[in-house]
Structures are given as C-alpha cells and as structure tokens.
Structure 1
Amino acid sequence: MSVSQQVIKDKLQASIGDIYHIIITDTSNGCGQSFDVIVVSDTFEGKNKLQRCRLVNGALKEEVAQIHAFGCKCFTTAEWSKLVV
C-alpha cells in the first residue's frame, strides 16, 4: 500500500477520536515520501506535545515506516481557534 494523503487522513480519523480538522501536506512534491500533518482534536486536551505526537505516530506507525520524513503538529480546538483568527 502506498502512502497518500487520503490513507493518512483515513487512519487518523479511525484512530484518534473527536477530530475537528486535519491538514496534510505532501512536502515531497507529490512522490509521497514526506508529509507534514496538522491534527486538531480535543483528544489532545491535557496532553503535552510529546504525548500528542505519540498518539499520531502510533496511529500512522505503518505509514511512517514507509516514508522518508514525517512531521506533525497537534492542537486542541481551543488552541487552534486562537491560531486561525
């Protein structure tokens, strides 16, 4: 299975509850080897950055193993609303 933005989105939605927003950017010019992901979910409430990223990385364990680079940023809905005013 090749890694695509849709595969990443589907896996995140299935694994992390209460997702408000997901932004997936293929940073490898379309070859599917490098992705940056922003996940907004209140599941992250009370968790630090490391704990949040571990949730995302755990959900995408198989996909992350197949690609060259992966970055994620995780926000609660309250944090996200402050960023996108």
Structure 2
Amino acid sequence: MKRVDFLGPGETYEIYEKRANSPLNYSRPNSSPILQNYYPQPPSYTFVPIKEKRQKISLWWIIGIATIAPIFIVVMLFLAIWLQEMGII
C-alpha cells in the first residue's frame, strides 16, 4: 500500500499562505457609503379611527335586561308546565 506523504507546517506556510495571489493580498474595492443590500423601509401609516357619535346603552338597561331575562324564562316554563298539566297543551 502506498504511503501518503503530507506537507509539514513550514511547507504548507510557504506554498499556500505566502503565495502572491492570496485572498489576503487583494485590496478591497472602495465601498460606497450606501450599503449594497440596503433597502429602505417603506413609510408606515398609522390608522386612526374616526370617532362616530354612538348612542351609549345605559348601565341600568343592561342590569334590567340581565335581571328580567331569567325571570321571564322561569315564568314561561312554569306556565308551560301548568298548561300541560291542565291538558291544554
């Protein structure tokens, strides 16, 4: 079997890192003050809703409906059961 002969550290330095066309030897082109991949953000618009005149429901109406609705349901169930017992329904 053939033995592979690797380069030593000194030889590697001489061949690859000291060569004239090393990427480190190239000077960077003058970059413009504007970045190449710079995309300015589009202007943002703020949504301000127009205030409309709305009629406010009084708190007393809400309390009244919340109180009367269950009482009405109980009374209707009572009437339905009573009328069923009498044989009308």
TM-score normalised to the size of structure 1?
0.18
TM-score normalised to the size of structure 2?
0.18
Structure with larger RCO (C-alpha < 8 A, sep 6+):
1
Higher share in strand: 1
The structure with the largest alpha-carbon Rg is 2
